Amino acid sequence: MPRVFITGLGFITSIGNDAATVTRNLRELRHGFEVYPPFQQPEIPVKVIGTIKGFTTDSPDPEDWTFPAAYKIKRELLRTMAPNGLFAHCAMLQAVADAKLTEPDLSNPLTGLYAASAGSPYLLHYHNNRLNKVGVMRCSPLGIVASIAGTLNFNLIAAFKIQGASCGFSSACASSAHALGYALDDLKLGRQKRMFVVGAEDGNVDAILPFAGMRTLSLQTDPNLASRPFDAARDGFVGTGGGVALVLETEDEVVRRGVTPYAEVLGWGQASDGWNVAISHPEGNGSAAAMTNALRASGVAPENVDYVNAHATSTLIGDISEARALRAVFKDAATRPAVSSTKALTGHGLSLAGAMESAFCALALREGFMPGNAHLTKIDPECGGLNILRATENTPPDLVIKNSSGFGGANVALVFKRVA
C-alpha cells in the first residue's frame, strides 16, 4: 500500500489565519479567545469564544461579509456559502498554494475532497424563519445549499471543481477526524492519489449557544482562564469556528511533484463507546480502543509514541474519560508520551477540531516542537499519571497521535510520523 503524506495546510482559526502565525501561537501558547459581543447580554451567562479575526460574517447575506482582501471570491461562489464555507474556502486557497498545486492537480478523477461541518444552524434558522414569513415559494433558492449539513462539501467541490471522491462526514466533534481517516483509506487503497480534508464551523451564536443547555460550556468571563483542559478548575469548553484544510497525497505524487511533506500519515483507528448519546464512557473504553486500533494499523508500539494531541475539551467528564483511556493504552509507559490539548488555546472547534488539530500535529512534526497545555494551574487528580506538558517543548517528536471524540461515543485516533 502506498505511503501517504501531508503536503499542504491552510488555516483560518482563532489563533491565526496562516501557518506562520498559528505555529508561533502554538509555540508561545497564545490563545485566541475574546469576550464575544453577541453574548454580552444579562440572560446569556456564556461570555467567551475563540474568535476569527479579520472576518465579519454576522449578516445572513454573504454580500455583507468582509474578509481579508487577499481572498478574491466571486458572488457566484459566495452566495451559497455559510460562514464556515467562507473560512474553509480561504483555508483551501492557502492549502492549494502551500502544496504548490496547479489547476490540473485539483480537478481530475483521482483528486477528491472530504469535509465536515455541522452545517449552518444560523442560516438554517434564518431561512426557515423567512420561509414562514414570506411564504413557501419565496424562500431563498440558495438557502438549502448554504445551510444544511453538507453545505461545506457542496460548496468546496463545486468551487474547486473536484472530480474525485467527495463526501461530508457527520460524527459531531469526531467528524473531520473521520474524514481524514477515510481519506487515508482511499489513498492507501489506490482509489485516489490526492485528497483534501477540510473541517469548518461557523462558531457563532447559533452554533455554540445550544451547547449551554447541556451545561458543557464554560461560563468563565476571563478569556485567559476560560479553556483549561485537564485543570482541576475547568468548567466546560469554549466554542470556536474557523476552517482548516489539509492536502494528503500518495508517495508517487509527492515524488512526481517534488514537494516537501509536513508529515506522513501512518494509519488510523476508530471505535465506539456503545454507551450514551452524549456522555463519554467513564473509563474511556471507546477512545482507548480507537488508539489501540490506530497503533496496530500503523505498526507502531505504544511506547514509541512521543506526543498525543488530546481531544480534551475542558469538560468535567470528557477530560477524565480521555485521561483514563490514555493510561489504559500506554499502561506503565503512560508518562512516556507528552500530552497536551491545544483546545486550551483555540477553543473547541466541534466538527473542525479533528482537522485543525491534525494540522497542528503536522506543524509540530515539521517544525520540531510539542505545544504545551496552556492554562494549567493544578492538574485534576483524576487526570493524573500522565505527562501533560505545562510548557511547549522544543524536542522534535517522531510519532504523534491525534485523538477525537464525538457524540454517540464515536472515537477516532490518527497516527502521524515525522518525515526524516
Partner 1 sequence: MPDAVSPNQGTTKPFPPTPKPFTPEDETALREALKRCSPSAFEAAVQFRKTGNPEHVPAVVIGVIERFVEPDLRMKLKDADDDLRLIEDLGIDSLTMMEIVILVEDVLQMTINNDELRNLRTVGDVKTFIDCKIRGLTLPKPTKFIPIEHIGSVMPVQPPFLFLNEASVSSTAANGKYKISGQEFFLQGHFKDNPVMPASIMLEAMGQLAVLYLLEGAPTEPGKVVSPQTIFFTGCEGVRAHRICKPGDILSLSIKPKRMKMPLATFEGAIRVGQEKAVIVEEITLTFGLVDAVDAPVPINGTAAQSAVAAPVTVAPPLRVAINA
Residues engaged in binding partner 1 (CB under 8 A):
63, 74-76, 79, 134, 137-142
Q: Which of 348, 361, 375, 383 is catalytic?
A: 348
Catalytic, out of 311, 361, 375, 383: 311
**Measured from the CB atom, is 43 or 76 closer to partner 1?**
76
The conformation of residue 396, written as its DSSP 8-state character, comes to P
Q: In terms of CB distance, is 118 or 123 closer to partner 1?
A: 123
Query: Burial, 56: exposed, middle or buried (Cβ in 10 Å; 0-12, 13-18, 19+)?
Result: exposed
As given in the structure block, the three cell numbers for residue 228 are 483549561
Answer yes or no: 173 catalytic: yes
Grid coordinates 492537480 are at which residue?
A: 105
Minimum Å distance from CB 82 to partner 1? 16
DSSP 368: T
The reply to whether 311 belongs to the active site is yes
The single residue of 31, 89, 167, 173 carrying the catalytic annotation is: 173
As a three-state string, the secondary structure of 107-172 is CCCCEEEEEECCCCHHHHHHHHHHHHHHCHHHCCCCHHHHHCCCHHHHHHHHHCCCCCCEEECCCH
**What is the rounded CA–CA span in Å between residue 222 and residue 256?**
50
Cross-strand partners of 387:
338
Q: For partner 1, which is the closer residue by CB, 50 or 60? A: 60
Q: Whose Cβ is closer to partner 1: residue 42's or residue 135's?
A: 135
Helix (H) and strand (E) counts for the chain? 14, 13
The minimum distance between CB 222 and partner 1, in angstroms, equals 39
Residue 89: CB minimum distance to partner 1, A: 18
State yes or no: is 125 an active-site residue: no
Q: Give the C-alpha separation, 222 to 85, whole Å.
A: 30
Nearest distance in Å: CB 138, partner 1:
5
* In the complex, minimum distance from the CB of residue 112 to partner 1, in angstroms, rounded to a whole number: 24
> Among 277, 273, 267, 343, which residue's Cα sits nearest to residue 311?
343
Which residues are tagged catalytic? Answer: 173, 311, 348
